[in-house]
Structure 1
Amino acid sequence: MSEVAEVVRRRGGTATFGQLRAIVSLRAIRTALDRGVITRIAKGVYALPPATDPLATARAQGGVVSHLSAAVLHGFAVLDLPDKPQVTVPRGQHRRLSPLDCQLFWADHVPSDGGCTGKLRTVLDCARTFPFAAGLSVADSALRLGVIDRSQLAVAAGELAGPGSRRARRVAAAADGRSESPLESVLRSLLIEAGIDGFEPQVVIRDGAFSARVDLGHRELLLALEADSFAHHGTRNALTRDCRRHTNLTIRGWRLLRFSWEDVMFDPEWVLDAVCQATAGSAGHHNPHDIGVARGTRRAAGRL
């Protein structure tokens, strides 16, 4: 059960059934639900308790579920689960509930039916309200799910005005549905904010019978970055596959930098320093031409 909770926590506080099932057993999920270790907050979406019903809170407040709470209901991956429901009410409406019960936002033309903001509106709300990494995580997830497209997001962000509109346009310009997890989105956001260009999400490296996909790849520098969230490498088969993949990438000239959740979330300066050193061609840099020269030199030496 602790394993199930850890998967949910490492995914930002929520996980879909498919995301859980890819790592833990169906029995473990059912047991965690029965014992209250996780709770179902929407169809096929689970979270860590306590999880106050955001729809009930929105109805009580006279507004709609919005921002990260709405993102969770839509099934978007979020960086951090809100500690209390986030609700938007019509501008000028007074608070009905205690600040401890919900986080309020005010806007024009808000229905008071206790529903939820639409998918596009939710992405824009998160993009204009929260830090770049959090907004990008939600936008990447929405694009990945195919519920909105990039042109739709860009147009809508361009029409925004007022506080946060510039931040929303920045998120819209950077959003990429190829990103597969919030941790990948955060790692990419660090690069973007540091002005480090050239990295693409989910780059496929293929050579003959070998094929691998890396979280972020720089094709020109043959440099790959991976955001290692909660996953299992404890079995001998998993360790063998991981080692062979790493070796196969290396002999094809690719350097692989792997960063943990703790690295990306709590020591971004170290992450950026490591990437900067690698992009500058620090010790250990090589490329396929160098490998070919080295192989040729060894063959020539063997003939002497």
Structure 2
Amino acid sequence: MSEVLDVLQRRAGTATFAELRAVVSGRVIRTALADGTIRRIAKGVYAVPPATDALAAARAQGGVVSHLSAAVLHGFAVLELPGKPHVTVPRGQHRRLSQLDCDLHWADGVPSDGRCTGKLRTVLDCARTLSFPAALTVADSALRLGAVDRSQLLIGATALTGPGSRRARRVAAAADGRAESPLESTLRSLLIEARIEGFEPQVAVRDHGFSARVDLGHPELLIALEADSFAHHGTRIALTRDCRRHVNLTIRGWRLLRFSWEDVMFDPAWVVEVIRQAIAGSPGHHNSRGSVSGSRRRRVLRGL
């Protein structure tokens, strides 16, 4: 069902039957409806079933929508939608009895108006509490949308103290507004955690007859990494376009490694290993610029 959810997430939570059908079969759509993965909200329109209303839960607890729930309200990309609303209340306040379930957090200086934490505060809260890939996804998206700028994020993270502050500073240092999707941010997080250096987001490859961008590119070694969402590659037109793009990159000396959602999310060790093999020049991979010097290769492979 990951393809169905991917389409919905990339379209702000809703999609038409035609948009879903371009990616998955009718049987998959019917199965997703039957098991509650998606719901029909109008004729020919589908959505992810809503969790408890985050704003209502915040009002019930006398706090504010925060963390991942606030990221969704701000329109930031998220790796996964929260299962329950996240609500922050003033420190020392007890959980109130309510029919609206939520994940409760406590902090100083929280207004009790039932609204949402600010954009910078939301990014920092996510950076403190989420996994590195999930936090980087939110931070990348906030930078890309111009909701916060890099200096604000770095200063805010530096000022943090207490649990999660070191994690937040790591996320702030790695965040990059050039990233264009949660899957791309997650793929980059694997490189960072594996200490594989030299890859940059959205590298442009241009000459007089060709122009393309790769999700993550190593300009020195001419290795390109693509985080492939099935929603963007599941039609005949997309297949034709991608084949030609792949050929054009190849004849210009680029080695293109393409990873699916399942690769990145469920087999990260394999993803890291094949990238290491490509960098190291495993059989079948050759650098069009010639061999890389031993000292330079050691720098590229640092931490491998």
- The alignment's TM-score, normalised by the length of structure 2, stands at 0.83
What residue number does 1:33 align with?
41
Alignment partners' CA distance in 1, 2:147 and 2:6: 24
Aligned to 2:206, the other structure's residue is in SS state strand
What's the offset of the Cα at 1:34?
1.2
Please list the CA deviations of residues 246-290 of structure 1 after superposition, one character each: whole Å capped at 9, or x if unmatched: 111111110000000000000000000010000111122233346
The match for 2:168 is 168
1:59–1:114 CA contact under 8 A, matched in 2: yes
Task: Pick which of 234-243 and 154-163 moved more.
Answer: 234-243
Q: Aligned pair 1:24/2:32, yes or no?
A: no
Per the alignment, residue 302 of structure 1 pairs with none
The CA deviation at 1:99 is 9.5
Bigger radius of gyration among the two: 1
Q: 1:262 to 1:82 in 2, by over 3 A?
A: same
Q: CA deviation at 1:53?
A: 1.0
Check conservation: 1:184, 1:215, Cα contact below 8 A: yes
Residue of structure 1 in register with 2:203 after alignment: 203
With over 3 angstroms needed to count, the CA separation of the structure-2 counterparts of 1:232 and 1:183, relative to structure 1, is closer
Contact map agreement 1:229 1:260 (CA 8 A) in 2: yes
Structure 2 gap ranges (5+): 21-38, 291-304
Instruction: Give the Cα–Cα distance (whole angstroms) in 1 for the partners of residues 180 and 222 of structure 2.
Output: 21
Change (3 A) 1:192 1:247: same
Q: Separation in 1 of the partners of 2:58 and 2:170?
A: 29
The answer to whether the aligner puts 1:76 opposite 2:76 as a matched pair is yes
1:248 aligns with 2:248: yes
Query: Relative to structure 1, is the Cα distance of residues 234 and 227 closer, same or farther in structure 2, using a 3 angstrom cutoff?
Result: closer
8 A Cα contact 1:37 1:49, kept in partner: no
- Structure 1 residue 242: deviation in Å? 1.2
Corresponding residue number in structure 1 for 2:181: 181
Q: Please tell me whether the aligned partners of residues 67 and 125 of structure 2 are also in contact (alpha carbons under 8 angstroms).
A: yes
Is the partner of 1:24 in helix, strand or coil? helix
d(CA) in 2 for partners of 1:81 and 1:36?
A: 23
Change in Cα spacing, 1:287 to 1:111, as seen in structure 2 (3 Å) is same
**1:6 CA displacement:** 4.2
Mapped contact 1:259–1:271 kept (Cα < 8 A): yes
Give secondary structure in 2 for the equivalent of 1:231: helix
Give the equivalent residue in structure 1 for 2:102: 102
> What is the total number of aligned residue pairs between the two structures?
271
Q: Which amino acid aligns with 2:269?
A: E
- Indicate the residue corresponding to 1:121 in structure 2: 121
Tell me, yes or no, if the aligned pair for 2:226 and 2:258 is still in contact at 8 Å. yes
Judge conservation of contact 2:15–2:46 (CA < 8 Å) in 1: no
**Any conservation in 2 of the 1:14–1:72 contact (CA below 8 Å)?**
no
Q: CA deviation at 1:209?
A: 1.1
Structure 1 unmatched runs, 5+: 26-30, 40-47, 291-304
1:229 Cα deviation after fit: 1.4
CA distance in 2 between partners of 1:122 and 1:77 (Å): 13
Could you say which residue in structure 2 is the equivalent of 1:65?
65
Contact conserved, 1:36 with 1:49, CA < 8 A, in 2? no
How far, CA to CA, are the matches of 2:270 and 2:133 in structure 1?
Answer: 17
